[in-house]
Structure 1
């Protein structure tokens, strides 16, 4: 009995709601529905995105050690300290190594996508094998490479010694000239499959009749790729390159877990330096200024890339 009453109450409430909506025009009803659908995601964005960003900018103009309630206002002093510190900008040279490996990662991912987009026996198995490292836990990948790069019991040096290249065996994570390349290769191994899948989806979105028409017109594979395929996936190339640049600027996980910034700061990145400034040296104001500068740098890279890609696509 109570269940039937509750159902009738719901039906009555629904009818009243529909009757109230009928008093509004179709345009007004559409706007109300859009606002209602956007209310929750916009609220979450404001609470967990916009508000923390505003607080980050505000904190960058203060001096705070993370413990005391007082946050003295220092103005632009934190930004001056960042721009007057050559060490901080020298660290971007370490990030450049990740960018180099990221470009190689995109090129190899595109090559594998082209290869596995063809009629190759067992291509689905190869796709899974190449994509598998991306779904592995980042910490597990870091410890796997830490063992592989170990100077005494590492599998890489053992392999080099087995095949007669024992003289090449070095301390991969202890050599300041090689440590960033070793970390960059680890990132390349883990993320290349993701780029391959994105490029593969882009290649499969190109209509086959366009490629067939190019072949009928006498275009070979190289000409069809340059004239038809590449312009068709230019937006995906732009997206992957943007993600590569952002990943290089925000490199943190691998150097933090594998080297901690060593040896002698040779593998520090801008983000690891920011984290140590905040949590090791308790200077949250300066760390916030560094984070704001990184955000502005990412925005500048995005604008530059958009301009370059727009000019290239035309």
Structure 2
């Protein structure tokens, strides 16, 4: 009797059926699509309520003769805009912005200089960083009152000059030129810290290997600034120029607190505020605000066209 063994014949496994991607129910897909908008709802409502709605109202008021108090207002068309462009005294205040524009050049140059110096290994550099940025943290009203006593007759500036042997009987805020130069100097002191921090952050984002390679090649600090730092911070420098130009055209806080626009220091924004709240010409003030907004947008557009924001590649 022979033993018979059963051989198991291996059968090829049948291919598994393809897994079908089941689509999520319609309610689930709808919920996923609405979830981002639910998170954006609150900031969008705040943005529309406190930014775009007031701008729309301002544009609407610019075509009326509203005095800011009366519940009634009448449509006047483009008369307010015609008055702005035909009355020379309304546009002469833009010449005051020239002082702040020149001050912004000094401000950017000084901020770039200090940011470059303090980006290298310098003793007490953290202390100097805090000193340079501190003025930007102070409230603008407090700065205005501090420098009001600083520039007054017999004030801090005159006392310091007398200690240095310089006798000065100048009324620093008494004439148009000296007052505007003094106010522009205050703006440099206050806003240089912002540009300083922007430049310092941009410089520190440049890879350190580039500095090491430049030092091995014998490059001086000036060559490192010219060929590494300056091209690397070009986008931030362009942003600072835009902010400086727009800020020079819309100066308000410091001259309004220190002089109230007297002695030839009135800016376009101070004039607009006076039109609205002192002379009760809210319609004309709204038109002036729209004109200022368009000028700033036009200057920004031209600057962006002349200096495009190209991608920087230093490697």
Instruction: Place the TM-score, normalised by the shorter chain, in its bin.
Output: 0.7 to 0.9
Give the unaligned 5+ runs of structure 1: 1-20
For residue 157 of structure 1, what is the aligned residue in structure 2?
Answer: 158
Q: TM-score, length-normalised on structure 2?
A: 0.87
The verdict on how the C-alpha distance between 1:248 and 1:221 changes in structure 2, with shifts beyond 3 A counting, is same
Structure-2 separation of matches of 1:177 and 1:135: 28
For residue 209 of structure 1, what is the aligned residue in structure 2?
Answer: 209
The verdict on how the C-alpha distance between 1:292 and 1:29 changes in structure 2, with shifts beyond 3 A counting, is same
CA deviation string 1:22-65 (max 9, x = no partner): 41498765532222222221111111111111110000000011
Contact in 1 for aligned 2:255/2:261 (Cα 8 Å):
yes
> Which has the larger displacement, 112-121 or 29-38?
29-38
For residue 74 of structure 2, what is the aligned residue in structure 1?
Answer: 72
Aligned 1:1-314 pairs, distance under 5 A: 22-24=24-26, 30-151=32-153, 153-166=154-167, 168-263=168-263, 266-310=264-308
CA deviation string 1:70-105 (max 9, x = no partner): 111110000000001111221111011111111111
For residue 15 of structure 2, what is the aligned residue in structure 1?
Answer: none
Structure-1 separation of matches of 2:42 and 2:307: 34
Structure-1 separation of matches of 2:28 and 2:225: 48
- What CA RMSD, in Å, does the superposition of the two structures yield over aligned residues? 2.0
The structure with more radius of gyration: 2
Q: 1:216 deviation in Å?
A: 3.6
Q: 1:220 deviation in Å?
A: 3.1
Q: TM-score, length-normalised on structure 1?
A: 0.87
Structure-2 separation of matches of 1:272 and 1:179: 16
Contact in 2 for aligned 1:94/1:269 (Cα 8 Å):
yes
Contact in 1 for aligned 2:235/2:309 (Cα 8 Å):
no
Give the unaligned 5+ runs of structure 2: 1-22
Contact in 2 for aligned 1:242/1:305 (Cα 8 Å):
yes
CA deviation string 1:152-205 (max 9, x = no partner): x21111222222221x44111111111111001111111112211111111111
Structure-2 separation of matches of 1:77 and 1:39: 39
Contact in 1 for aligned 2:96/2:180 (Cα 8 Å):
yes
Structure-2 separation of matches of 1:248 and 1:132: 21
Q: 1:219 deviation in Å?
A: 3.6
Q: Greater helix percent: which structure?
A: 1
Contact in 1 for aligned 2:235/2:310 (Cα 8 Å):
no
For residue 12 of structure 1, what is the aligned residue in structure 2?
Answer: none
